[in-house]
Amino acid sequence: MAGRGRASGRGIVALCVLLLVALVGCGGPSGTDSARTQVQRVLDRRAGAVMDRDRAAFVRTGALSWFENLSAVPLAAWSYRVTALRRTGDTATADAELDYRVQGYDRAPVTVGRTLDLSLDAGGRWYVDAERPAEKAAQQLWDQGEVTVVRGAHSLVLGVGQTGETLHSYADLADRAVPAVSDAWGTGWSRQVVVLVPRSVEGMAGLLGSPVSAYRGIAAVTTGETGAPAQAPADRIIVNPDAYGVLGPPGKQVVLTHEATHVATRADTTPATPLWLSEGYADWVGYRGSGRTSRQAAPELAEAVSAGRVPAALPTDEDFGFSGDATGLARAYESGWLACRLIAERWGEVRLGAFYRAVGTHQQRDGAVEDAMRRVLGTTPAEFTARWRAYLLDQLG
């Protein structure tokens, strides 16, 4: 019994020692965990330097990089969250989420992926050597150069490689667009827009994280989440200065009003909303009150109808793809515009807006247009399509 007792005691002592070693090994921070914590602290200081506009404090966290490009942008918040760290000796690469808000415009943070290259300095502190958009993430405007900011009555215009005079012209157009949209849609939206004007179409593609070929000939696009709640980042109207610059004053106004309409209707635009309705409505607001005739505003569709090629159906979402077929894309937009113009003329502008909202109350495409047409317009898709085709012949034939 005594022998067994001594053996049992030694086993317990040995087991406790093993457990202690295991706990020490598992409970203490690993080298990567410790480095990640240290990098997070560096990025916290970096974010504070951005908010304080403190150049010296920013440099203490890493290379100056884009810091001065951002100096004119009004910021309400800026923060990083490290999501992954890959360390090799005295160097590391961090993946992080950057959250920022533009003062007076963003009700919630814009979240973008960033990748940071770091190294240890002579004092053993992590230092940011470079920061760039994460793989497959879009650029931010300040990644492209120094940002110039112009404020309008209803707009904030941010540009790179543009003169102040040019940016003021965008603000003037946007300031006319916002009241025009409110007159058609109502005032239950932010009634202010953020416009980004990069140096070229290449800059536009960079801001959208897409190939340049997708946007040649496209004057502007609006980014934002369909069905977005009230507490959401402001949509960004991103301009292609190459395509936009060749438009005359009326065309430029139509484009900005069209894009501002997307901002206004965003909360009521859901996966149930077909592109012929969302793009057609935006064009309808853009051309509303312009005095443009159907043939002037829909030249590509007019040519097809005059040649006897009347579309058999409303355009599909695929018809609005940036596939390089500029003529086909133009006909899709013109078809949607004339469908909305028909509703405004036949049923009234108020019902056109009510129809748009009714479609958006559905969470999926199937049955959404049919239900809204029945409840708001008292018709069916088949009857509406027949009436629309006759309208095209009347307006464009």
Specify the CATH number of the domain 139-264: 3.30.2010.30
Cβ atoms < 10 Å from Cβ of 133: 17
CB 230 within 8 A of CB 267: yes
25-29, 46-50, 70-74 — which is least confidently predicted?
Answer: 25-29
**Amino acid type, 211:** P
Cα 130–135–140 angle (5° rounding)?
65
Q: What are phi and psi of 56, to 5 degrees?
A: -60, -45
Mark out the alpha helices in the chain (DSSP H runs). 2-27, 31-52, 55-61, 164-185, 201-208, 241-245, 249-265, 275-287, 294-297, 299-306, 326-346, 349-360, 368-372, 381-396
**Domain residue limits, the chain:** 31-137, 139-264, 270-397
- How many degrees, rounded to 5, is the angle at CA 138 between CA 137 and CA 140? 130
pLDDT value at residue 31? 58
DSSP 202-261: HHHHHHHTS-GGGTTT--EEEE--TT--SSSPPPEEEE-HHHHHTS-HHHHHHHHHHHHH
DSSP bridge partners of 336: none
Kindly report, residue by residue over 105-121, the tens digit of the pLDDT: 999 999 999 999 999 99
pLDDT, position 228: 60
Distance separating alpha carbons of residues 76 and 114, to the nearest angstrom = 19
Give the phi and the psi of residue 156 in degrees, each rounded to 5.
-125, 120
Q: Strand 193-197 to strand 236-239: parallel, antiparallel, or no bridges (unpaired)?
A: parallel
pLDDT category of residue 225 using cuts at 50, 70 and 90 = confident
Q: What is the percent of the chain where pLDDT is above 90? A: 86
d(CA 154, CA 191): 7
Confidence of residue 232 (pLDDT cuts 50, 70, 90): confident
The one-letter amino acid at 357: R
pTM: 0.89
Q: What is the pLDDT of residue 238?
A: 98
Q: And the tokens for 394? A: 């009347």
Burial class (CB in 10 A: 0-12, 13-18, 19+), 171: buried
When pLDDT is averaged across residues 33-47 and rounded to a whole number, the result is 95
Q: How confident is the model over 360-364, as a mean pLDDT?
A: 95
DSSP, residue by residue, 378-396: S--HHHHHHHHHHHHHHHH
Q: Is the pLDDT confidence value at 123 over 70?
A: yes
If you average pLDDT over residues 315-324, what whole number do you get?
87
Q: What is the mean pLDDT of residues 340-359?
A: 98
pLDDT at position 25 = 38
Using the predicted structure, report yes or no on whether residue 221 has a pLDDT greater than 90: yes
Pick from 139, 86, 90, 87: nearest CA to 113: 139
pLDDT band for position 216 (50/70/90)? confident
CA separation for the pair 61, 127 (Å, rounded): 6
CATH classification for the domain delimited by 31-137, as one of 3.50.50.60, 3.40.50.620, 3.10.450.50, 3.20.19.10: 3.10.450.50
Long-range contacts of 98-102 (CB under 8 A, 24+ apart): 100/75, 101/75, 101/76, 101/77, 101/233, 102/73, 102/74, 102/75, 102/76, 102/156, 102/194, 102/234
C-alpha separations of 112 from 118, 198, 200, 209, 385 in Å = 19, 18, 22, 12, 42
Q: What pLDDT, in 10s, does the model give residues 130-182?
A: 999 999 999 999 999 999 999 999 999 999 999 999 999 999 999 999 999 99
Which pLDDT score is estimated for 50? 98
Q: Check whether 33 has a pLDDT greater than 80.
A: no
* 87-101, 148-162, 223-237, 329-343, range with the lowest pLDDT: 223-237
Q: How confident is the model at residue 217 (pLDDT cuts 50, 70, 90)?
A: confident
Task: For the chain, give the mean pLDDT.
Answer: 91
First to last CA, the chain: 111
Residues 252, 256, 259, 265, CA torsion sign:
negative
For the cut 80, the answer to whether the pLDDT of residue 294 exceeds it is: yes
Residue 102: strand pairing partners = 75
Identify which has the larger pLDDT, 8 or 141. 141
214: confidence class by pLDDT, cuts 50, 70, 90? confident
Q: Please, which residues have CB within 8 angstroms of residue 318's CB and are 6 or more apart in sequence?
A: none
